[in-house]
Structure formats: C-alpha cells, structure tokens
Amino acid sequence: MVNSLIPSSVAAPPVEAVRGFAREVARDLALTPKQIQSKYLYDALGSSLFESICRLPWYRITRAEARLLTRRASEMVAPLEDPVTLLELGCGSGEKVALLAEALRSRRRRVAIHLIDISPTALELSERTLGSLEHVSVVGHRATYEEGLRHAARERPPQGGLLVLFLGSNIGNFDPPASHDFLSEIRHALRPGDGLLLGADLVKPVKELLLAYDDPLSVTAAFNKNVLVRMNRELGANFDLTSFEHRAIWNPGERRVEMHLVSLVEQIVRIPRADVTVAFEKGESIWTESSYKYEPHEIVELVSGTGFRSHAQWTDAEARFSLTLFVAK
Ligand SMILES: C[S@@+](CC[C@H](N)C(=O)[O-])C[C@H]1O[C@@H](n2cnc3c(N)ncnc32)[C@H](O)[C@@H]1O
C-alpha cells in the first residue's frame, strides 16, 4: 500500500508484488482452462495501451460514460452531504472522477478524492488530470480494489458523504457470484446515505462487442499479449510472443466477452520465478479477461441485493452503456 502518488511507472515493482504475481500465476496456470487474472494486464505499458484503447473508434465505453458524466454529473453528486469524499476503484486516467469533482466546485467546499489502482502509471496519470483542480485534495492508493477500499474508508472524515465510483464497466470483469461478494464488501465499507455510482456496459450486437475487444489496429491484441512480456520481464519466463495469438470470443451462455491468448503450437514454457513449467497443446489458451454484459434492470437487481437502493439510472442509447447511482441503506 502506498499513500502517495509518487511511484514511477518505470521503477521496478516492489518485491512483495512480484511474489504475489508469481504465486497467482503458478496457481492460475494450473487451472483448466489456464487463466491469468486481468489485473495483471495493467503494468506501465498495459496502462498506456489501455488509454489508447479508450481512444479507438471501436471501444465506445469510455466516450459513452464520459458523455453521461458530462451531462448529468450535478444530479449524480446532488444527494451527497458536505464535506464530500469521492473514492474511485480502478481510476485509470482520472478523467471521469475529474468531471464529478468539477460538478462539486460550486459548493465552495474542498473535496477529498481517494484513487485506488493497482497500476502506478494509472495513479500518475490521474494525479496529472486532477492536479489542475484547486478545490480537491488527492490521496493515491497503489492497491487492489479490496485493500484500497478498506484503507480509504478508514481515512475518511467522520462527517459528510462518500461516493464510490466503479466505472468503465470494471464490474464486468467479475463473474456474478464474485460481483455480488465485491458489491457487498463495498457496502460494508460505507455508511447509510453514502453512494455507489456504477458504470456497466450493456448487451449489444455481437459484431460490435467483438470489435471492441479485437480491434482492426490490434491495440487490444498488444494489450493482451503484453501480459506475456510482463511475465518474461518480472518472472523470468520464456514466452515466445510469436507463438501466441490474441482472441476475443462472445460466450452467449454467460453473456460475456472473453479475451484469450491462444498457443499456436504445442510448446513448453518455463516461468522460473513462479517455479513452474507449463505445457501448452496447440490451440490451448490462457483466459485473461472476462467482460460481462448486462441489461439495465439486471444492474439494479444485482446491486439491490447487497444493501443498496437504486436512486437513478442514466443510459447512453447510442453506445448502450448505463450509469446507475445507488444509495447505501
Ligand atoms: C478497464 S480500466 C478502467 C479505468 C477507468 N475506471 C475507466 O473507466 O476508464 C481498469 C483500471 O482498474 C485497474 N485495476 C484492474 N484490476 C484491478 C484490481 N483488482 N485492483 C485495483 N485496480 C485494478 C487497472 O489498473 C485500470 O487502471
């Protein structure tokens, strides 16, 4: 846990973080199918590639959510009591929380912002984005969602409202039982009257969904394959990048887009710092990310079962994306 926005994106990751990465890689590559958790996609290069993905014409989530925030931010912050604390889980560039902070400027009170992200690069980007706002103070937590949430909730002032932002359809990376558990954990960290603003991507035509995760410029392919580069660098692995291919598939039964890295040949890969040797069949894949898609009413049902009531929902009809504001009961 780091309570400052200083860490450099080029610095070597802390030893403990590398050990945790090694442990989880060894565990998850032994599963069937083989897996790597999507949080490991976000090293310095991964975070920069994600920012590029957000600018691709085929990845519409970021622009749709920014449109809704730009138009409706003042309604979203209206229920919060002063002094306001904003807490963003997985802040990325910080551009979205900045839109909400702008909407709070007219209250003439300082706004505390807690940024939680596993990626030092994302925290640095957010610091730059929020640096020009004089009425905000920012605390960065280089941590997982769960750790950062617990830590930030302990640091909030005794009075005032807190709004948790979980945007960019990050909730879609959790399978339904895990999302229920995580939303309950968020609720547990809050007080009655606090808010949760949840961004979720909606079901749409399969062609559109797949283009968002397998773009013609191959930026998403680079983002996905970079986790192999990361394992080579941090864990001493010998993945041959030319023998793996990025693939995005729509799983209609689970209503999720899955990203995979498919082995093009039968091969053996060594990962010394994880103390494993992994055998791949030709065509076997590592499953690196899930992105579940929803209908607007499903979001309300999912979150309402975890101790929140729904306050308002806004939908971008053009890109089929929704933002829902919940209040802790
Ligand atoms: C898909 S990006 C979304 C960024 C931003 N919220 C947006 O809407 O554009 C996910 C962000 O969450 C961070 N992240 C992913 N998994 C995480 C985890 N388990 N704990 C903390 N941060 C995580 C990544 O580093 C990345 O910055």
DSSP letters, 120-136, are HHHHHHHHHHHTT-TTE
Question: Which residues make beta-bridge pairs with 144?
Answer: none
Provide the pLDDT for residue 1: 38
Residue 50 alpha carbon to ligand 1 centre in Å = 10
User: In the 8-state DSSP scheme, what is residue 170?
Assistant: G
Residue 265 Cα, ligand 1 centroid: separation in angstroms?
Answer: 32
Residues 6+ apart with CB under 8 A from 267: 240, 243, 279, 280
Please choose, from the candidates 233, 77, 229, 252, the residue with its C-alpha nearest in 3D space to the C-alpha of residue 162: 77
- DSSP structural state of residue 91: -
Q: What is the dihedral of CA 188, 190, 194, 200, to 10 degrees?
A: -60
Distance in angstroms (rounded) separating the CA atoms of residues 95 and 213: 22
Dihedral sign from CA coordinates of 157, 161, 164, 165? negative
Question: Tell me, what's the pLDDT at 5?
Answer: 46
Q: Which atom of ligand 1 is nearest to the CA of 146?
A: 20
Strand residue runs (E) in 46-157: 85-89, 111-117, 136-142
Measured in Å, residue 78 CA sits from the centre of ligand 1 at 26
Name all residues whose Cβ lies below 6 A of ligand 1.
39, 42, 47, 50, 54, 62, 90-92, 96, 117-119, 122, 144-145, 167-168, 170
pLDDT at res. 11? 63
Query: 39 C-alpha vs ligand 1 centroid, how far in Å?
Result: 7
Using alpha carbons, list the distances in angstroms from residue 324 to 98, 137, 211, 246, 297. 18, 26, 25, 32, 10
Q: Are 46 and 230 in contact (CB under 8 A)?
A: yes
pTM (2 decimals)? 0.95
Residue nearest to atom 2 of ligand 1 (CA): 92
Do residues 266 and 280 make contact, with C-beta atoms less than 8 angstroms apart?
yes
Residue nearest (by alpha carbon) to ligand 1 atom 10 = 90
Beta strands 34-35 and 285-292 are parallel
What is the residue-level pLDDT of the chain in tens, covering all 329 positions?
344 444 444 567 889 999 999 999 999 999 999 999 999 999 999 999 999 999 999 999 999 999 999 999 999 999 999 999 999 999 999 999 999 999 999 888 899 999 999 999 999 999 999 999 999 999 999 999 999 999 999 999 999 999 999 999 999 999 999 999 999 999 999 999 999 999 999 999 999 999 999 999 999 999 999 999 999 999 999 999 999 999 999 999 999 999 999 999 999 999 999 999 999 999 999 999 999 999 999 999 999 999 999 999 999 999 999 999 999 99
Among protein residues, the one whose CA lies closest to atom 14 of ligand 1: 90
